[in-house]
Amino acid sequence: DIQMTQSPSSLSASVGDRVTITCRANQGISNYLAWYQQKPGKVPKLLIYAASTLQSGVPSRFSGSGSGTDFTLTISSLQPEDVATYYCQKYNNAPTFGPGTKVDIK
């Protein structure tokens, strides 16, 4: 089975900072990767699919990159409303979520 890891598990950054979250698969998954944002007490929201395609309505400060085994989610300028846990997911053949990265404001 393909396992997904994320780093860091949590981070604290200032408003306006550039934030990068890494997701790694232990086998190649091409670009079958999505990123979700889950705010406290809320339902997950799709941010990015196909590793780098921004879902409609998602602010352009979010971006994704990578292919194969290594992927990143970048928030170019962190905003207070971005406080959330972010999950990566490989979504082909037995979808698997990463363990999540909790993002807070410093």
Partner 1 sequence: EVQLVESGGGLVQPGRSLRLSCAASGFTFDDFALHWVRQAPGKGLEWVSGINWNGGSTGYADSVKGRFTISRDNAKNSLYLQMNSLRTEDTALYYCAKAGPSFWSGYTDWGQGTLVTVSS
Of 85, 86, 71, 69, nearest to 2 by C-alpha is 69
Of 88, 56, 83, nearest to 72 by C-alpha is 88
Q: Which of 1/106 has CB closer to partner 1?
A: 1
- CA-CA distance, 83 to 106, in Å (whole number)? 10
Q: Which range binds partner 1 by CB under 8 A, 13-21, 48-56, 71-79?
A: 48-56
What pairing do the DSSP bridges indicate for beta strands 101-105 and 53-54? unpaired
User: Per rule CB under 8 A, is residue 100 in the interface with partner 1?
Assistant: yes
Q: Which range binds partner 1 by CB under 8 A, 16-24, 73-81, 89-97?
A: 89-97
Q: Which residues bind partner 1 (CB under 8 A)?
A: 1, 32, 34, 36, 38, 43-46, 48-50, 55, 85, 87, 89, 91-100
